[in-house]
Every structure is written in structure tokens, then in C-alpha cells.
Amino acid sequence: MSLKIRLQRQGKKKQPFYHIVVADSRSPRDGKYIERLGTYNPKHDHEGVNMDSAKTLEWLEKGALPTDSCRHILTEQGILFRKHLQRGVKKGLFNQEQADTQYTKWVTEKGQKHTEKKDAKLTSAKEAYKARIAAETSSREAKAKAIAAKKAAAAEAAAPATEAPAAEPTAPAAE
């Protein structure tokens, strides 16, 4: 029996939500599974994954193969890196303490990169908002100037027309 770590779709139409499960490769996508390892919500980037890393690592060591999408999620969560380090410990390349320090170092670097990326995204969104507001303000001012100029031209055109009959001398009334 070949085991797969894969996504099981849940949620409504156009609102996907996935359970990360271990299942037999022959079972249908949303069918029977052996164990649920976590959830994945694609609407939220990094915060959308909740997973039991110990269970997942255990299943990976037992020989379960992740699908491509699950492999990406496991890589982002650092579970495949942890598996790699555990394999090095078993081979005797380094001890468990060294593996743990490498993993914590990786986690802190990953967290820093994530916060930097999130901050950059937030600042770029704020700058885009400010630029959009400035463009709208300048456009509104230009339209207001154009309307004022049009009204002034109309007022000048109307003023001589009203003054012309008043400027003509009136004929003296015959008695």
C-alpha cells in the first residue's frame, strides 16, 4: 500500500479550504484517509497552515510521499528540512544538538524573511494608496480650475450682453 500526504478539499464553491491528510494513493481525493495532519487555508499566505509537525515527520519517516502541493507546504513549514537533518543524525554526520541548532537557525531566518516580506508588502500598499489619493486630488483640482475658468468665460460673455442695452441712451419721451 503506497501512502501519500495530500490535500483533501473542503469548503464552499470558490472558497477553498483543505485538510492535509495521509491516505492510500488509490483512494479518491476527498475520500477515506488514514490520519489528518493539519489544515491549509490558501486565502491566508503564511498563517493559513496549521499542522502537527511531529505527526507529519513520523509519517514521512514511515515512507509516505507528499504530493507536489503538499511538498511545497512541507518545505515552507520546514518539515522536509527537519527530515533531512534527522537523516543526517541517523547516518552519524552530526549529533541531535547540532541538528536542533541548525533547525532553530533556519526557523529564525525564515521568520525574519517572512516579516520583512510582509512589511514590504504593507509599505508598498500604503505608498500606492498615497499615490492614488494624490493623483485623485490633483485631478479634482484640475477639474475645479477648468470649471472655474469656464464659468468666468461664461460670466464675461454674459456681462457685455447685459450692459449693451443699458448703455444705449433712452429716447426722451415726447410731451
The CATH number of domain 3-82, selected from 3.60.21.10, 3.40.50.300, 3.40.50.1000, 3.30.1320.10:
3.30.1320.10
Domain definitions of the chain by residue range: 3-82, 94-160
With contact defined as beta carbons under 8 Å apart, do 17 and 11 qualify? yes
- The residue behind cell 419721451 is 173
- In the DSSP assignment, the letter for residue 5 is E
Give CA–CA dist 113/147, Å, rounded. Answer: 51
For 26-82, write each residue's pLDDT tens digit: 888 888 899 999 999 988 866 788 999 999 999 999 999 999 999 999 998 999 999
pLDDT, tens digit, 9 for 90 and up, residues 79-125: 999 999 999 999 999 899 999 999 999 999 998 998 898 899 999 99
In DSSP terms, which residues pair with 22 in a beta bridge? Answer: 5, 35
Q: Are 39 and 19 in contact (CB under 8 A)?
A: yes
